[in-house]
A and B are shown apart, each in its own frame.
Chain A
Amino acid sequence: MVERTPFLNFFTHLILFVGFVFCVAPFAVVAIAASHNLKDVNDVPMSLLPGSDFWINIRTAWTTADLGPKLLNSFIMAAGVAAGKVIISALTAFSIVYFRYPGRTFIFWLIFVTLMLPLEVRIVPTYAVVANVLSPYQAILDVTGLSWLIEKVSGVQVSFSLGLLNSYTGLIMPLIATATGTFLYRQFFLTVPDELTEAARMDGAGALRFFIDILLPLSRNNMAALGTIMFLWAWNQYLWPLLITTDQSHATAVTELKQLIPNVGGAPEWHIAMAGTLIVMLPPLIVVVLMQRWFVRGLIATEK
């Protein structure tokens, strides 16, 4: 604060407070609605004093949408994506920053381009690939005539097939296949002093040893930030899990929410719907609150 501006300060407080109310109100409404019974939740206007049915509603939502296993699925998917991203991006960034091999720039651009097209716009063909993840390789062999050759020579007919629908691998892998994390690491690696590398080499460390013993411990902050962002991002995925989990056993908590929308013509069970919503929005909210620092840093660094 540089000068005294009582009038402006009053408006600052006022506007920020209004913003705060609008920001928190939906959370509060969801929590309050989740505590009412069927009659009270449909009252106009709905009472803003919490009702007494909170735990009953939570339990009903939990069993109706089968949220226990679904939350576990969400957790496995989110943790898998976060871990996969943190590891694979580090490897790739190390490769494109610390080595000079022919085609390095080309690889850099190959990865860079993936930033442009989010999964949502290429879902239809990605779905087909995941239905048989080896189909690209099969097609390459067929087109180049290699499968014909192999069949002639060895008598084995080449036909790869590996379906990943309704599997954790199928849920996780396509979500890892983008470049966001790679560039976060790249930016950080570029700021690591060259002297450190020289010293390590002088002490006889090879590339692998330098990577594991020096570079990775230095990148801990980046890993935490990237992990937090990717966990949230994966937890909140909707379209992709909706498509590839045709079988209930692999559905995630977020896709299960749809089960709780009150049917037209049925009882408007908003209290159950809101209880389910509360359960689904709570884990990411806890992550944001606990990991705030990493969350903000990760967002700004990945520009995601």
Chain B
Amino acid sequence: MEKRVTFSRSTIGILFAVPQLLLIFTFFYWPAGQAVYWSLTLQQPWGGGNIWVGLDNFRSILANADYWNSITASLVFAGISTGLAMFIALVLAALTDRQLAGSRLYRVVLIWPYGIAAPALAMAFRFILAPEAGFMAVVNQVWPGFWDPGLDGADAMASIIVAFSWKYVGYNFIFFLAAFQAIPRSLIEAAAMDGSGVIRRFRDIQFPLITPTIFFLLVINITESFQDSFGIVDIMTAGGPANATNLMVYKIYSDGFKGLDYSGAAAQSIILMLLIIVLTIFQFRFIERRVHYR
């Protein structure tokens, strides 16, 4: 897309872009480059020299069972929470789009969770899911020892999945509802006139028409599950018990800043960057098809 009418003073034009360029150079390109450099060298924290080690950092990380454990945990977390958040949001949005009485209320309320900071909702869920107080305690009274996120890795993973999904149901709901509402009403009415019921219309008209949104949300949810999970993990489980919820970003943080292993953390960052870049490229292919100017 290009403008036909433009301004001719190129210097002014470039000047307009300078603040942004300075910012992204200083806080984006330089650090990203730095991460590549660190991942290929062995760096002493706070000064000292850098020794060139080639791909050794990557080799030692990939040979580390803890790292693979972290990748597995991240993938389990990403898979289950994305599936859960998207499925629930899809059902709620499809039903809200039927515009029965009260649907305006749902449209307003169901997006609230997305406004809440991950650590704040993590705190709320830490209480709600606490084994000795709150609500899971009731279950524990009936079946003693049934639930303890502090000791059982699977319980801890379930806790952070619930907290994350709760927030992202709100997010996905906004997009699904917008997608449903973008479908021309006449299409639905014509199909109804031809005798197709609600379920049939959903399967043959609405669902195919929102597939771009589904792909888009799939990628966003997975990417966000890598980033936005940090606050939830830090407040709810701190990576434990026994590394069961030590997700990738949390591990980068604890290795880099707690363990002061900058080179190892940088190498992990690079791997995560590559993962996210692949996902993003995948996503842009769908966005390009989705966006229409004019």
Give chain A's interface residues, CB within 8 Å of chain B.
1-3, 5, 8-9, 12-13, 15-16, 19-20, 22-24, 26-27, 29-30, 33, 41-46, 88-89, 91-92, 94-102, 104, 107, 110-111, 114-118, 120-130, 133, 136, 173-174, 176-179, 182, 187, 189-191, 194, 197-198, 201, 206-208, 210, 232, 235-236, 238-239, 242-243, 254-255, 257-258, 260-261, 268, 270, 273-274, 276-277, 280-281, 284-285, 287-289, 292, 295-296, 299-300, 303
Contacts and interface: CB of A to CB of B under 8 A. Distances in A.
B249 A12 contact: no
Which of A13, A42, A239 gathers most chain B CB within 10 Å?
A239
B134 A182 contact: no
A262 to B, nearest CB: 9
Interface in B19-44: 19-21, 23-32, 34-35, 38
A303 B287 contact: yes
Nearest to A118: B227
Interface in B86-104: 88, 91-92, 95-96, 98-100, 102-103
Contact of A208 (B12, B25, B220): B12
Nearest to A136: B30
What are the 4 tightest A-B residue pairs by CB atom distance, in nearest-first order? A99-B13, A95-B16, A101-B10, A288-B115
A128 B14 contact: no
Contact of A239 (B14, B26, B175, B231): B231
Interface string B221-264: 00100110011001100000000000001001100110000100
A41 B100 CA distance: 39
A116 B223 CA distance: 10
A182 B166 contact: no
Contacts of A13: 100, 102
B75 interface: no
B210 interface: no
Interface residues of B: mostly helix, strand, loop or mixed? helix
A242 B231 CA distance: 10
5 contacts: A26-B113, A99-B13, A121-B249, A274-B123, A288-B111
Contacts of B178: 296, 300
Contacts of A182: 20
Nearest to B250: A239
Interface of B: 1, 3-10, 12-17, 19-21, 23-32, 34-35, 38, 88, 91-92, 95-96, 98-100, 102-103, 105-106, 108-121, 123-128, 130, 132-135, 137-138, 140-141, 166, 169-171, 174-175, 178, 188-189, 192, 197-198, 216, 220, 223, 226-227, 230-231, 234-235, 249, 252-253, 256-257, 262, 265-266, 269, 272-273, 276-277, 280, 287, 291, 293-294
